[in-house]
Amino acid sequence: MKKMLESYKQEKQNRIILEGVFTVKNFALVQAIGTFLLLLYMIILWGLPLVPALATFDYLNCFADGQSQIITYLITAFSAVIAFLVYVHGLLLFSGATQRILRVRVEGERRIEPLQSWMTVRWAVCGQLHRATWPVLTHVIPSPIANFYYKLAGAKIGKKVQINTVGINDPGMMIIEDNVVIGGAAVINGHIVEKGQLILSPITFKKGSLIGSRATIQPGVVVGEGAVIATNALVAKWKIVPDGEVWGGLPAKCIRKNSDRPSLVE
């Protein structure tokens, strides 16, 4: 019985090794085919939200019939703007829902897979779907609309959170508690590539923490309650920023033990 168990384990190990070799040898082909399929899907992703947008435009623009030229111009102009807003919301909804379906889930502190793996393919597709929203997402940050999009894409977001960046590159890796503020152009990466491996790890922003504009946060970081990350700082992977501290620099380190600011009320 023991020999049979050892034989089974060895056979399973050999199968895993062979599957790894198969994946590596065929990854270039998978990548090429996947890129083509993704481009086709991008046509759908960008095109489908145009359907309700164009329908909205046609409906509103019909009120221009029989009007004077200036009124016709006004109705057409405002119809186009309203149709654009319909398109923005449709694209965010469609992209966020697709990311939620495809997102890579991490059990525990981190997940490590070969760079040339199916997990990488899923992660890359989600990344492209998020980048496809940038031109329109930038017009709705910060707002409940942006928060809803990030939630739909997989982020866990608390109450009274202000997100002023399109640079949350792995929404499914984000845990953002109440009253967190993320500044403009901040880059939050729940992934890193090292030694031919893709590493995914959740990032946690605890209650009341503040991420300065253009700061960069790497995977596995925990920003403590009430802590502040200064403008342009880079918080390296796996760092834990204690509650209430102020971190800044490149790489970031503690520059002040207390983030309390003087009250403006006498």
Interval 165-177: pLDDT, tens? 999 999 999 999 9
CATH H superfamily, domain 142-261: Hexapeptide repeat proteins (2.160.10.10)
How much is the mean pLDDT over the chain?
87
Residue 117 has pLDDT above 60, yes or no: yes
Q: Decide: pTM greater than 0.85.
A: no
Residue 64 has pLDDT above 60, yes or no: yes
Residue 98, token pair as written in the block? 């697709």
Please indicate whether residue 158 or residue 266 has the higher confidence score (pLDDT): 158
Residue 17 has pLDDT above 50, yes or no: no
Q: What percent of the chain has pLDDT over 70?
A: 87
Report pLDDT digits (tens) over 177-232: 999 999 999 999 999 999 889 999 999 999 999 999 999 999 999 999 999 999 99
